[in-house]
Amino acid sequence: MELDKAYDHSKVEEKIYKIWEDSGFFNPDSLPGDRKEPYTIIMPPPNANAPMHLGHALFVTIEDILIRYKRMRGYKTLWQPGTDHAGFETQVVFEKKLEKEGRSRFKMQREEFYKECWDFVQSNKHITENSLRRLGASCDWSRNIFTLDPEIVKVVYATFKQMFNDGLIYRGDRLGNWCFKHQTALSDLETKYEERVEPYYYLKYGPFAISTSRPETKFGDKYVVMHPDDKRYEQYKHGDKLNLEWINGPITTTVIKDQAVDMTFGTGVMTITPWHDAVDFDLAQKHKLDKEQIIDKYGKLLPIAGEFAGMKILAARPLIIEKLKQKGLLEKIDENYKHNVQTCYKCSTLIEPQIIPQWFVAMTKPLPDSRPSLRDMAIKAVIEKKVEILTEKFEKTFMHWMENLRDWPISRQIWWGIPIPVKYCADCHEPIVDTENIISQCPKCSSANLTQDTDTFDTWFSSGQWPFATLMANDARKGLGIKDQGSDFNTYFPTQVMETGWDILFFWVARMIMFSYYKTNKPPFEKVFLHGLVRDKDRQKMSKSKGNVIDPLGVIDTYGTDALRFALIFSTAAGNDIPLAEDKIKGMKHFANKLWNIARYILAIEDVGTALEPSTITGGSRPSPTGTTPADKQILAKLDVVVNSATKNMESFNLHEAAQEIYHFVWHEFADIYIEASKEQLKNEKLKASTLSTLNFSLLTILKLLHPFMPFVTEEIWSKLNQQQLLMVAAWPKN
RNA sequence: GGACGCGUAGCUCAGUUGGUUAGAGCGCGCCGUUCACAUCGGCGAGGUCACAGGUUCAAAUCCUGUCGCGUCCACCA
pLDDT level of residue A53 (50, 70, 90 thresholds):
confident
Backbone Cα Rg of chain A: 32
* Burial status of residue A424 (CB atoms within 10 A of its CB: 0-12, 13-18, 19 or more): middle
Contact predicate A709/A60, CB 8 Å: no
Report, as an integer, the average pLDDT of A543-557. 72
- The integer distance in angstroms from the CA atom of A544 to the C1' atom of B44 is 46
| HEC sequence for A22-89 | HHCCCCHHHCCCCCCCEEEEECCCCECCCCCCHHHHHHHHHHHHHHHHHHHCCCEEEEECEEECCHHH
Query: What mean pLDDT do residues A126-130 have?
Result: 91
Q: Specify the nucleotide whose C1' lies closest to residue A593 (CA).
A: B39
Mean local confidence (pLDDT), A131-137: 95
Separation of alpha carbons A293 and A280, rounded Å: 13
Would the pLDDT of A546 be above 60?
Answer: no
pLDDT of residue A312: 93
- Listed in order, strand segments (DSSP E) in A227-370 are 241-246, 249-257, 269-271, 330-344, 351-361
Q: In this structure, are residues A368 and A376 in contact, taking their beta carbons and an 8 Å threshold?
A: no
- Residues 6 or more apart whose CB falls under 8 angstroms from that of A259 comprise A227, A228, A229
Name the nearest CA neighbour of A649 among A570, A577, A580: A570
Name A residues 379-398 whose Cβ lies under 7 Å from strand B.
392-393, 396-397
Report CA dihedral (A295, A298, A303, A306) to the nearest 10 degrees: 80
| pLDDT digits 0-9 by tens, A463-512 | 999 999 999 999 999 999 888 988 999 999 999 999 998 888 888 999 99
Q: Is the pLDDT of residue A581 over 90?
A: no
Instruction: Say how far apart CA A701 and CA A727 lie, in whole Å.
Output: 11
What's the order of all strands across the beta sheet hosting A76-80? A76-80, A38-42, A495-501, A525-531, A388-389
Whether the ω angle into residue A409 lies within 30 degrees of 0, i.e. cis, is no
- Give distance CA A88 / C1' B2 (Å): 30
Instruction: Give the DSSP letter of residue A441.
Output: S
Provide mean pLDDT across the span A721-728. 85
A366 touches strand B (CB under 7 A): no
Question: What's the whole-number mean pLDDT along residues A603-609?
Answer: 68
Q: Distance (Å, rounded) from C-alpha A126 to C-alpha A144?
A: 11
In this predicted model, which residue has the larger pLDDT, A542 or A688? A688
> Taking residues A217-238, what's their average pLDDT?
91
**Between the CA of A636 and the C1' of B71, what is the distance in angstroms?**
45
Q: With a 7 Å cutoff on the CB, does A652 touch strand B?
A: yes
Tell me the pLDDT band of A566, cut-offs 50, 70 and 90: very high
- Chain-centre distance of CA A624, in angstroms? 51
SS3 content of chain A, % helix, strand, coil (to 5): 45, 20, 35
Mean pLDDT of A589-594: 93
- Tens digit of each residue's pLDDT (9 = 90 or more) over A16-28: 999 999 999 999 9
For the stretch A98-107, contacts whose Cβ atoms lie closer than 8 Å and that sit 24 or more positions apart, written own/partner, are A105/A415, A106/A183
With H, G, I as helix, E, B as strand and everything else as coil, classify residue A156.
helix
Closest CA to A340 of A474, A191, A471, A156: A191
Task: Supply the pLDDT for residue A173.
Answer: 86
The Cα diameter of chain A in Å comes to: 112
In the structure, how far is the CA atom of residue A346 from the C1' atom of nucleotide B76, in angstroms? 26
* A614 strand B contact, CB < 7 Å: no
Question: Span A605-609, mean pLDDT?
Answer: 60
In this structure, is the CB of residue A234 within 7 Å of any atom belonging to strand B? Answer: no
- Residues of chain A with pLDDT > 90: what percent? 66
Task: Write down the pLDDT at residue A505.
Answer: 87
pLDDT at A599 over 90: yes
Residue A202 has pLDDT above 50, yes or no: yes
Q: Kindly report whether the global pTM for this prediction surpasses the value 0.95.
A: no
Which pLDDT belongs to residue A611? Answer: 38
CA distance A495 to A524: 6
**How many Å does it take to go from CA A685 to C1' B40?**
28
Q: Which nucleotide is nearest to A503 (CA to C1')?
A: B72
pLDDT tens for A613-672 read 444 444 567 777 666 788 898 899 889 989 988 998 899 888 988 998 899 999 999 999
- Compute the average pLDDT of residues A370-392: 91
- Decide if pLDDT at A537 tops 60: no
Give, as ranges, the nucleotides of chain B with any atom within 7 Å of a protein CB: 2-5, 12-16, 23-27, 35-42, 72-77
| pLDDT(A339) > 90 | no
pLDDT of residue A374: 95
Most confident by average pLDDT, A184-188, A262-266, A465-469, A579-583: A465-469
The predicted-structure confidence for A56-101, as pLDDT tens digits, reads as follows: 899 999 999 999 999 999 999 999 999 999 989 999 999 999 999 9
d(CA A143, CA A151): 12
Is pLDDT above 80 for A575?
no
Sequence length of chain A is: 735
With CA of A194 and C1' of each nucleotide, the nearest comes out as B75
Amino acid at A645: S
The answer on pLDDT for A333 being more than 80 is yes
**Model confidence at A608: pLDDT above 60:** no
Model confidence band, residue A536 (pLDDT cutoffs 50, 70, 90): low
Can you give the pLDDT at residue A618?
46
Nucleic acid strand B within 7 Å of A10 CB? no
Is the dihedral angle over the CA atoms A529, A532, A534, A537 positive or is it negative? negative
Task: Give CA–CA dist A714/A692, Å, rounded.
Answer: 20
Is the C-beta of residue A594 closer than 7 Å to nucleic acid chain B? yes
What ipTM does the predicted assembly reach? Answer: 0.92
Across A50-54, A179-183, A493-497, A643-647, the highest mean pLDDT is recorded for A493-497
As a whole number, mean pLDDT of residues A287-307 equals 92
Strand B–CB A685 distance below 7 A = no
A188 CB-to-strand B distance under 7 Å? yes
The vertex-A110 CA angle with A163 and A427, nearest 5°, equals: 55
